[in-house]
Amino acid sequence: MSFRKRSEVIGGPPGVSPRTPAGVSRPLRPAVPGRGPIAPGTVPSRAPASPAGHVPPQPPSARRAQPPEIKNPAIRPSLITSQPTISTGGADLDKILLHQGLPLGHSLLIEESGSTDFASVILRAFASQAIIHNRIDKDQLHAHVVVIGVNPQWSNDLPGLYKGSSKEQKKAKIAANESKISVSNLANQSTRENDMKIAWRYGLKQKVEADAANDTDYTHQFDITQKLVPGPAATDISYIQLTPDYHTIIERLEAIVQKYESKVCRIVIPGLLNPSLYPPQCSSPNFIIPFVHSLRAVLRQHPNTALISSLPLDLYPRDSTVTGVLESLFDGVLYLQPFNQEMSQLIEKAYKNEPSKIQQGLVNIIKLPVLSEKGLMMIRDGEYAFKNGRKKFEIEEWGIPVEDEGEEKSTTKDIEF
């Protein structure tokens, strides 16, 4: 008894019958309809066979009629509302937004108090994420970044991909060396391939790998100490300079968004109303409210867009009218509240043996896209804390650290019961 591979056609390669003598043509009609050898180029069908046993070939137009599957690795359905959602460039931020990212057609405002600029880390990761998405496929662009109000030098500081800890980088180097063609590598490779032979036969391995690749393409980890190399190209990013007339900005934005209609357009507005970027007249209600309202209209009209912006709260406190209106016009609002000196000292003292646990401030949720507008109470004050490290902008649940009162002294006295 001999064994054959499942995929191998019984009777040898199609068109050649071992039982038929050479020169004698074998009829194509099989003994059992639908069980015969598959002619090359035809698709096996489970439909009942025609009375004559002949399956009429499908016209090419019928095959083409199926809608082409549009795949953009930058987009995923929201976990809550199933709306198309994009990653913000930070897995933790995606998680606290509850949608696993920012739903397209919506906006996020990052407010920050104090003299720090943690918000810019989030904004830059948001932009970098788009550029990394553009580098997944060689000939296809998936996203475009539009930066409003800053000069092109802003993109020089975009963070690069996190390549792992030094240990992981060494492992990656070894893996890279192993993948090079050499006699020893080829010898090792053949043994590894044998191990996977069964899985390969059923196509399982390829599927798992494809799924894993799709998962990793959606969001990436960025290293703020690394620069994005090579920097963004002109097809990746556009800049819109500020003008005292908000109509011009909106018109330019709409033109760019329409140009890149088939791609995800990520709009970034760093340091909204920061006096070093915005002229004084921009903080007047005649400019800022119509400007943000028109941006909201653009987002709703073009569902391939998403906006992120930062606002310095020391200049425009939360109880000011401007901030109140901005909070009502943006779909999502997060407030980064860095710890004061006393709190920072307490945390440093509590985690003196574990410096990686030291958090830098609180992340207060004021509004979440879609959910807050539906009437859900989404305000979360002091429930999350952030720490900005080389590895990533980490957001975790906040708990007041317990301060150890020195090392516990061992009991010297015998306890008598």
User: Token pair for residue 314?
Assistant: 């020391």
Report the C-alpha gap between 75 and 102 in whole angstroms: 10
Cα of 173 vs its chain's centroid, Å: 25
In sequence order, the 6+-apart residues with CB closer than 8 A to the CB of 17 are: 11, 26
CA distance 156 to 229: 9
Per rule CB under 8 A, is residue 255 in the interface with another protein? Answer: no
As a whole number of angstroms, the distance between CA 210 and CA 213 comes to: 5
Cβ closest to another protein, residue 30 vs residue 382: 382
* Of residues 396, 371, 366, the one with CA closest to residue 80: 371
Quick one: which segment of 28-36, 164-172, 232-240, 289-297 binds another protein (CB under 8 A)? 289-297
Selected binder of another protein within 135, 227, 252, 380 (CB under 8 A): 380
Cα–Cα distances (Å) from 226 to 119, 221, 268, 326, 395, in that order, read 18, 12, 20, 33, 21
Quote helix, strand, coil % in the chain, to nearest 5. 35, 20, 50
Instruction: Determine the distance from the C-alpha atom of residue 397 to the mean position of all C-alpha atoms in its chain, rounded to a whole number.
Output: 22
Considering beta carbons, is residue 314 or 408 the nearer one to another protein?
314
What's the closest the beta carbon of residue 380 comes to another protein, in angstroms?
A: 7
97 binds another protein (CB under 8 A): no
Among 113, 120, 294, 344, binds another protein (CB under 8 A): 294
Q: Could you tell me the two tokens for 306?
A: 């998403």
Kindly indicate which of the ranges 3-11, 89-97, 224-232, 363-371 contains the residues binding another protein, using the contact rule CB under 8 A: 363-371
Among 12, 30, 279, 290, binds another protein (CB under 8 A): 290
Q: Identify the residue among 224, 307, 371, 395 touching another protein (CB under 8 A).
A: 371
| Parallel, antiparallel or unpaired: strands 237-240 and 143-148 | parallel
Among positions 258-287, residues that touch another protein (CB under 8 A) are 285-286
Site size toward another protein (CB under 8 A) is 37
Q: Which of 196, 204, 297, 400 binds another protein (CB under 8 A)?
A: 297
Of 308, 334, 378, 385, the residue at the interface with another protein (CB under 8 A) is 378
CA 360 to chain centre: 24
Please give the structure tokens belonging to residue 95.
């998680």
Q: Which is nearer to another protein, 94 or 327 (CB)?
A: 327
**Interface pick for another protein out of 377, 406, 409, 417 (rule CB under 8 A):** 377
**Is 116 an interacting residue with respect to another protein (CB under 8 A)?**
no
Task: List residues near another protein by CB under 8 A.
Answer: 80, 246-247, 250, 285-286, 289-291, 293-294, 296-297, 300-301, 318-321, 323-325, 327-328, 366-367, 371-381
